[in-house]
C-alpha cells in the first residue's frame, strides 16, 4: 500500500527530437509580389503560367487567309454594300486608317487537323481598334475591342470539319475611347493608323485559363485582406503553393494547382453552381455596358458600338447562365432595331428569358440640369412607350449612373412615369464634400419620393475584381439600415460590357465567401428589380430609410452649365418651338380637318431628346458630335418652321417681318395668360399687342405729348434711360444706377456697376469642358468698355450701345434697351450682346450687384424653384459657387427683389448681393474649338416689389417667347382671338403644355393600343411653392376630364360642369389632365 508504481500510457508523438534544418519566416511583401509575376507578361512570360495558356496556334495561309476592302471617304457601309466589292489580299503587320475609316476583312479559315479535337478553339484578332465579326451570310455575331481586350471569338463547332470557312470582320479605325493621341479627353487625332498584329486560330488551354483566374482572385485576397486576418495569410499560402506546384510544360501541374485553389475557393467555381449554396448574399452583381450615346466619338459610331457590345452579351448569356445584363436608353434599342435587326431579335429573346434587362425608362441617359421640365417628361414618355411597345413592360427603375447632378423634381417625375427606384453613383466624384448616403429616400420639391441607391463600389464600370466586391460593403454608408448593394460591372463609356473574365472572377469571389468567408458574398442571377424589390419589402415591414430633400447637386462638372453655348441655345429654342407646335396643332386638329402631325412631332422630339444626352447638351463631347447635333437641330427647325407655316394658314394668318401694306396686323401668342406688349412694326414704328388668346389684336402705339420713354446724355459716354417706372444710368456700358420710381428705391448699391463684364482664367484640374474650379474666382478681371452711344430713340423704345474689347481677338457689342412701361405691369431693362469670342481657357461672365440682402437666392428649375445659399458658411455652401438655373435667377428680401432673366443661358452664381450670369467658356478639350465664333445673347434686369412671384415667372416665359407679327384678313372671325382652353385662378399655376393624347385614334402611330375618340392633354404645374387652386375653362365639347400620370394613364375623374373643372395643386406639383371630347 502506497509503494506501488504504475505505467502511464504516453501518446506517441511524431514531433522530431532534433531540428532538421532552419526554417525562416515568410517575408509577406516578397511572397505577395511573386504572385503577380506568376501570370504577368514581361521577362518571365515564357516561363510562367502565361506560356501554357494556349495549346497550339495556327497563323497565316493556308489556315488563315486575309483580304480587305477599304470603305471610301470615312463612310460606314452596310454588310451588303461592303461585300459587293472586290477584296484585295492583305496580311498581319499591315496598318489601316486614317481615324474613323472603316475596313472590311474577309477571313477564309481552315482549322488544321491537329487542332480540330481540342477542347476550346478561338479566333484571335487584334488591331488595337474596334471590330465586329459577321457571318458569311451577313449576321453580326460579336464585337471586338482590341488592344489585348476582347480579342477572341469562339469558333463554331462546324468549323472543325477540315473545310474552308468564310466570315468577315468590320474594322472601325477608333479605339474604345475614340482617337485621341495620348490623353483620352484631348481632341481626336484625324490621322491615326492601326496595325493588325494578330489573326490566329488558337487552341486554348482551358484549365490554364481557369487557373489564371483562380490565382488572380486568391492573389487579390492575399494583397487586400487585412494583414491581421487568418484569411489573408491563408490566401498568401495557397497562392504560393500553386506557384510551387507549377512545372512548365506539365499539364498535370496545372490540374494540381487548380486542386490547391479549391482549398480557398471551393469546388464549384468553374460553373454557375457556385451560386446555388442557399447562403444569403450582400452584394448583387449586375452586368452593365454604359455606352455614351456620343462623347469621344460621333453618333454613327455609337450605333455600331451598341451592336458590338450587346451581341457580346447575348453570347456570354449562352455560356454563363447566371449572367444578367441591364441596359438603358431606348434610343440605342431603336438604333439596334433599325440597323441591326438580327441582334435586336437576339436581344428580344434574352429579354423574354429575363437575362437581358431593359432599365431606365428614358429615351437616353440624359442630362437633368439643362432640359426643360417638359423635356424631362418626354424623356420618360418616349422611353417608356418604346420599352412597353417592344418588350411588353415599362421600366421600374430610373437609371442614370453618369449624369452630372440630379434636379430636384426627378423623384416626382419618376413616380408619374411609373418608377419608384433610382440608381446612380456619380456623386461619388464630388471633389469637395463626400455624399453621406448609399441607400436612401430621395424626396422631390412636391414631397414625392423614390428609393435611391448609389453603388458603394463607386463606379458603373467595375472590373468585377475582389476589391470591387469588398468595397461594396466597406464603402457602404447605409449599413445601419440596409446592408445590401448593387455591383454594376462591365467595360463602359465606350461600350463593351462584361467579359468572360469578369464573370469568372465573380464566381471565384462567391466561392471564396462560402469557403473561407470575410469577403462579402456576391450573387449573380438576380435583376435590378429583384434588388429593389427586397428593399421595398423591408420598407413595407417597417424599415425607415434616411431622406435627402431636393436636388442632388454634383460638386464637379459645373462648367457644363455653360460650355457649347450654341448647342444650349438650340436646345432652348427647339423646346419652345415644340411647345408652340403642339399647342397650335392640337387646337387646329380638334377644331377642324387639320391632321395632327404626330410623326413630325415625334421625329422632332426624338432628335431633341437625343441631343440632351449627358455628354451632348452639357458640352463635353468632341467637335464631330456638335457637327452632328447642329445638323439635327437644323432639321428640327426646318420641320418646325414648315409645320408652323401650315398652322398659320389653318388659322388664316401669315407671318410678316416688315409689313408694308396696311392690312390687319396681329400677334401670334402661345403663352396661356394675358399679355400686353410693345411689338415692333419696323421703320421705328410700333404697336401694342393686347389680349389672352393665341392671336392678339395690335393697336397703334400712341405718341404722347410727354414721351413715355426717353434717353438723355448726361456727359460724354453717360446716358440716362427713363420710363414711368425705371430710371437707368449707363456709364461706359455699365449700369451705375437703376432707380425704381414706383418703389422709390435704388437697386444698385452705392459704387456698384451692374451689367459689368468680367473675365476669369479657366484652367480646371483636368476636365476642361466639364469643370470650373472654385479657384477660378481668384482671377477675376474687370473688362473696360469704350464710350456709350445712342442707337435708338423711338417713342416706344430707347437703346444705347457700348463696345467692349476683351482681347486682340475678341469683343462684345452690348445694347441696353428700355421700352415704354404699362401701368400695372413691371418694366425691365433688356440687354442684347453680340460677342466675337476667340479666347483660350477663359470664362466670360456679366455681374449685377444689387441692394438686396438674403442668405438664399432662388433659381428656376424644371417645374419649380430651387433655393441655394448666397454665403460660404460651410463647404457644402461654398461648393455651390456655380449653379444651374433656367429662365431666371432671383434675389429677394421681404418686400422687394431683383430677377435676372435670360434667353439661352444656364450657369449662374449669387455671392452675397452679387448676381453673376455665366456667358461663355473657352475649353480646348475634347473640342479644340468649343464656343469659338459669334454669339448673340439676351438677358434682362427685372426689379420687382414684393417677394419672388408670378411676375418673374410669367415675364421670364414671355421673354423667351416673344410675340410673332402676322397679317390677318379683315374677315378673320373674332373667335380666332380667344383661346378655347384657359387656366384661371392662382397665378402661380402655369399651363405649360397643351398637346393631343398619344393614343388618340386619329393621332396614334400604332405602337400601343388606340384610344377611341379625341382628347387634349394639359400639363399644369405650381411654380412658386404653395398650394394653389385654379379652374380649367374650355369652350370645347368635352365629355370627361381625367387626372392622369405623365404617361397618360387615366387616374381620378375630375368634376366637369358647364365647361369648367376646378383643380387644386400641391406646392410644386406637376399635374396632367386629359380632356376627353
CA distance 397 to 384: 11
Q: What is the DSSP letter of 408?
A: T
Please state, as a whole number, how many other Cβ atoms lie within 10 Å of the Cβ of residue 308.
30
Helix (H, G, I), strand (E, B) or coil at 230: helix
Q: Which three cell numbers stand for residue 902?
A: 435670360
DSSP class of residue 875 equals H
Residues labelled catalytic? 402
Q: What is the C-alpha separation between 965 and 668, in angstroms, rounded?
A: 6
871: cis peptide before it, omega within 30°?
A: no
User: The C-alpha cell of 1005 is what?
Assistant: 402611330
Neighbours of 58 (CB within 10 A): 19
- Rounded to 5 degrees, what are φ and ψ at 24? -95, 160
CA nearest neighbour of 953 among 853, 1026, 1022: 1022
CA triple 1006-1007-1008, angle to 5 deg:
90
Report the half-sphere exposure of 76 (CA within 13 A, side-chain side): 17
Q: Which contiguous run of DSSP H or E holds residue 236?
A: helix 230-245
Give the containing element (helix H, strand E) for 637.
helix 623-650
Query: Which among 194, 611, 142 has a CA at the least distance from the CA of 372?
Result: 611
Output the nine-digit C-alpha cell for 184: 483620352
Q: How far apart are the C-alpha atoms of 238 and 244, rounded to whole Å? A: 10
Distance, in Å, from the CA atom of 1005 to the CA atom of 341, rounded to the nearest integer, reads: 21
Q: How far is CA 125 from CA 132, 445, 501, in A?
A: 11, 53, 18
Cross-strand bridge partners of residue 420: none
Q: How far apart are CA 939 and CA 816, in angstroms?
A: 10
Query: Which three three-digit cell numbers place residue 864?
Result: 419649380
Strands 718-723 and 439-443: unpaired
Closest CA to 356 of 419, 421, 287, 308: 287
The answer to whether 232 and 188 are in contact (CB under 8 A) is no
Q: What order of strands is seen across the sheet that includes strand 989-996? A: 989-996, 1015-1022, 1070-1076, 1040-1044, 1050-1054
| Half-sphere exposure of residue 230: CA atoms within 13 angstroms, side-chain side | 3
Number of H helices, E strands in the chain: 18, 56
Put the strands of the sheet holding 914-921 in their side by side order.
Answer: 781-782, 756-761, 842-849, 914-921, 907-911, 883-884
Task: Say how far apart CA 277 and CA 845 lie, in whole Å.
Answer: 61
Angle between helices 466-474 and 206-224 (to 10 degrees): 40
Residue 602 DSSP symbol: H
* Distance, C-alpha 452 to centroid of its chain: 17
Q: Are 828 and 808 in contact (CB under 8 A)?
A: no
Distance in angstroms (rounded) separating the CA atoms of residues 124 and 703: 83
Residues 6+ apart with CB under 8 A from 224: 466, 467, 470
Instruction: Determine the Cα–Cα distance for residues 713 and 83; give it in Å rounded to an integer.
Output: 75
- Cα gap 398→448, rounded to integer Å: 15
Q: How many CB atoms lie within 10 A of CB 634?
A: 11
Cα–Cα dist 509/489, whole Å: 14
Amino acid at each position: 500500500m502506497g509503494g506501488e508504481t504504475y505505467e502511464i500510457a504516453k501518446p506517441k508523438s511524431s514531433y522530431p527530437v532534433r531540428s532538421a534544418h532552419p526554417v525562416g519566416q515568410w517575408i509577406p511583401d516578397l511572397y505577395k509580389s511573386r504572385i503577380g509575376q506568376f501570370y504577368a507578361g514581361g521577362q518571365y512570360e515564357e516561363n510562367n503560367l502565361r506560356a501554357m495558356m494556349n495549346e497550339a496556334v495556327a497563323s497565316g495561309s493556308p489556315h488563315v487567309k486575309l483580304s480587305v476592302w477599304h470603305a471610301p471617304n470615312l463612310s460606314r457601309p452596310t454588310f451588303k454594300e461592303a461585300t459587293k466589292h472586290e477584296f484585295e489580299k492583305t496580311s498581319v503587320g499591315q496598318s489601316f486608317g486614317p481615324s474613323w475609316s472603316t475596313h472590311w476583312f474577309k477571313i477564309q479559315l481552315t482549322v488544321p487537323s491537329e487542332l480540330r479535337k481540342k477542347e476550346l478553339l478561338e479566333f484571335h484578332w487584334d488591331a488595337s481598334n474596334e471590330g465586329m465579326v459577321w457571318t458569311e451570310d451577313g449576321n453580326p455575331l460579336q464585337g471586338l475591342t482590341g488592344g489585348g481586350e476582347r480579342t477572341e471569338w469562339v469558333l463554331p463547332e462546324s468549323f472543325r470539319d477540315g473545310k474552308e470557312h468564310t466570315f468577315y470582320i468590320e474594322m472601325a479605325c477608333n479605339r474604345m475611347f475614340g482617337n485621341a493621341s495620348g490623353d483620352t479627353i484631348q481632341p481626336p487625332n484625324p490621322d491615326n493608323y492601326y496595325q493588325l498584329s494578330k489573326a490566329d486560330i488558337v487552341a486554348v488551354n482551358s484549365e490554364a485559363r481557369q487557373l489564371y483566374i483562380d490565382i488572380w482572385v486568391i492573389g487579390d485576397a492575399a494583397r487586400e485582406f487585412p494583414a491581421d486576418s487568418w484569411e489573408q495569410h491563408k490566401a498568401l499560402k495557397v497562392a504560393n503553393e500553386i506557384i510551387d506546384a507549377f512545372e512548365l510544360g506539365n499539364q498535370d501541374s496545372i490540374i494540381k494547382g487548380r486542386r490547391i485553389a479549391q482549398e480557398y475557393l471551393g469546388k464549384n467555381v468553374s460553373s454557375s453552381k457556385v451560386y446555388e449554396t442557399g447562403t444569403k448574399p450582400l452584394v448583387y452583381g449586375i452586368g452593365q455596358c454604359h455606352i455614351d450615346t456620343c462623347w469621344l466619338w460621333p453618333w454613327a459610331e455609337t450605333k455600331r458600338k451598341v451592336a458590338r457590345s450587346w451581341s457580346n452579351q447575348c453570347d456570354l448569356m449562352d455560356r454563363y447562365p447566371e449572367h444578367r445584363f441591364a441596359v438603358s436608353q431606348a434610343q440605342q434599342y431603336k438604333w439596334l432595331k433599325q440597323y441591326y435587326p438580327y441582334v435586336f431579335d437576339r436581344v428580344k429573346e434574352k429579354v423574354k428569358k429575363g437575362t437581358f434587362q431593359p432599365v431606365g425608362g428614358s429615351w437616353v441617359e440624359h442630362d437633368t440640369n439643362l432640359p426643360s421640365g417638359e423635356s424631362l417628361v418626354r424623356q420618360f414618355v418616349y422611353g417608356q412607350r418604346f420599352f412597353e411597345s417592344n418588350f411588353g413592360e415599362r421600366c421600374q427603375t430610373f437609371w442614370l449612373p453618369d449624369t452630372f447632378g440630379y434636379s430636384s423634381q426627378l423623384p416626382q417625375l419618376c413616380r408619374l412615369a411609373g418608377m419608384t427606384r433610382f440608381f446612380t453613383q456619380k456623386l461619388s466624384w464630388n471633389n469637395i464634400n463626400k455624399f453621406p448616403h448609399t441607400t436612401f429616400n430621395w424626396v422631390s420639391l412636391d414631397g414625392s419620393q423614390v428609393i435611391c441607391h448609389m453603388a458603394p463600389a463607386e463606379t458603373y464600370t467595375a472590373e468585377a475584381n475582389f476589391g470591387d466586391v469588398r468595397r461594396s460593403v466597406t464603402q457602404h454608408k447605409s449599413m445601419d439600415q440596409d446592408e445590401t448593394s448593387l455591383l454594376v460591372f462591365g467595360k463602359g463609356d465606350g461600350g463593351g460590357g462584361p467579359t468572360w473574365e469578369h464573370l469568372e472572377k465573380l464566381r471565384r469571389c462567391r466561392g471564396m465567401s462560402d469557403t473561407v468567408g470575410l469577403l462579402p458574398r456576391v450573387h449573380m442571377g438576380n435583376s435590378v428589380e429583384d434588388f429593389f424589390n427586397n428593399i421595398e419589402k423591408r420598407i413595407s415591414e417597417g424599415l425607415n430609410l434616411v431622406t435627402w430633400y431636393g436636388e442632388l447637386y454634383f460638386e464637379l462638372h459645373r462648367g457644363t452649365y455653360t460650355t457649347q453655348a450654341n448647342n444650349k441655345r438650340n436646345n432652348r429654342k427647339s423646346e419652345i418651338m415644340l411647345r408652340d407646335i403642339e399647342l397650335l396643332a392640337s387646337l387646329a386638329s380638334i377644331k377642324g380637318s387639320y391632321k395632327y402631325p404626330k410623326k413630325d412631332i415625334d421625329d422632332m422630339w426624338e432628335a431633341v431628346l437625343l441631343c440632351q444626352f449627358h455628354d451632348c447638351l452639357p458640352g463635353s463631347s468632341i467637335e464631330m458630335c456638335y457637327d452632328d447635333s447642329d445638323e439635327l437641330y437644323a432639321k428640327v427647325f426646318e420641320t418646325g418652321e414648315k409645320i408652323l407655316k401650315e398652322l398659320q394658314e389653318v388659322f388664316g394668318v401669315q407671318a410678316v417681318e416688315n409689313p408694308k401694306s396696311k392690312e390687319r396686323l396681329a400677334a401670334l401668342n402661345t403663352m396661356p395668360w394675358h399679355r400686353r406688349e410693345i411689338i415692333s412694326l419696323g421703320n421705328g414704328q410700333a404697336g401694342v399687342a393686347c389680349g389672352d388668346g393665341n392671336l392678339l389684336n395690335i393697336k397703334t402705339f400712341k405718341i404722347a405729348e410727354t414721351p413715355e420713354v426717353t434717353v438723355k446724355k448726361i456727359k460724354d459716354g453717360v446716358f440716362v434711360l427713363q420710363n414711368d417706372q425705371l430710371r437707368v444710368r449707363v456709364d461706359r456700358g455699365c449700369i451705375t444706377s437703376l432707380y425704381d420710381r414706383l418703389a422709390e428705391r435704388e437697386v444698385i448699391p452705392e459704387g456698384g456697376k451692374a451689367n459689368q463684364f468680367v473675365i476669369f482664367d479657366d484652367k480646371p484640374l483636368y476636365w476642361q469642358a466639364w469643370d470650373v474650379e472654385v479657384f477660378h474666382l481668384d482671377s477675376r478681371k474687370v473688362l473696360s468698355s469704350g464710350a456709350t452711344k445712342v442707337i435708338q430713340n423711338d417713342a416706344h423704345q430707347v437703346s444705347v450701345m457700348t463696345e467692349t474689347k476683351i482681347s486682340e481677338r475678341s469683343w462684345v457689342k452690348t445694347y441696353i434697351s428700355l421700352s415704354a412701361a404699362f401701368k400695372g405691369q413691371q418694366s425691365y431693362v433688356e440687354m442684347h450682346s453680340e460677342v466675337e469670342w476667340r479666347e483660350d481657357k477663359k470664362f466670360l461672365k456679366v455681374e449685377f450687384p444689387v441692394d438686396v440682402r438674403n442668405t438664399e437666392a432662388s433659381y428656376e428649375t424644371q417645374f419649380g424653384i430651387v433655393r441655394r445659399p448666397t454665403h460660404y458658411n460651410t463647404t457644402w455652401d461654398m461648393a455651390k459657387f456655380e449653379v444651374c438655373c433656367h429662365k431666371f435667377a432671383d434675389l429677394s428680401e421681404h418686400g422687394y427683389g431683383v430677377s435676372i432673366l435670360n434667353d439661352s443661358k444656364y450657369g449662374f452664381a449669387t455671392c452675397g448681393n452679387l448676381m453673376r450670369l455665366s456667358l461663355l467658356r473657352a475649353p480646348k478639350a475634347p473640342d479644340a474649338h468649343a464656343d469659338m465664333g459669334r454669339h448673340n445673347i439676351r438677358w434682362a434686369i427685372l426689379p420687382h416689389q414684393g417677394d419672388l412671384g408670378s411676375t418673374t415667372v410669367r415675364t421670364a416665359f414671355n421673354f423667351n417667347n416673344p410675340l410673332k407679327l402676322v397679317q390677318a384678313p379683315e374677315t378673320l372671325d373674332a373667335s380666332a382671338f380667344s383661346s378655347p382652353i384657359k387656366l384661371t385662378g392662382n397665378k402661380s399655376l402655369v399651363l405649360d403644355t397643351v398637346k393631343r393624347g398619344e393614343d388618340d385614334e386619329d393621332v396614334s402611330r400604332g405602337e400601343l393600343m388606340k384610344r377611341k375618340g379625341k382628347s387634349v392633354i394639359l400639363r399644369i404645374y405650381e411654380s412658386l411653392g404653395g398650394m394653389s387652386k385654379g379652374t380649367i375653362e374650355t369652350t370645347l365639347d368635352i365629355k370627361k376630364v381625367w387626372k392622369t400620370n405623365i404617361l397618360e394613364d387615366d387616374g381620378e375623374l375630375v368634376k366637369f360642369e358647364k365647361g369648367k373643372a376646378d383643380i387644386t395643386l400641391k406646392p410644386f406639383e406637376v399635374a396632367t389632365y386629359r380632356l376627353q371630347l
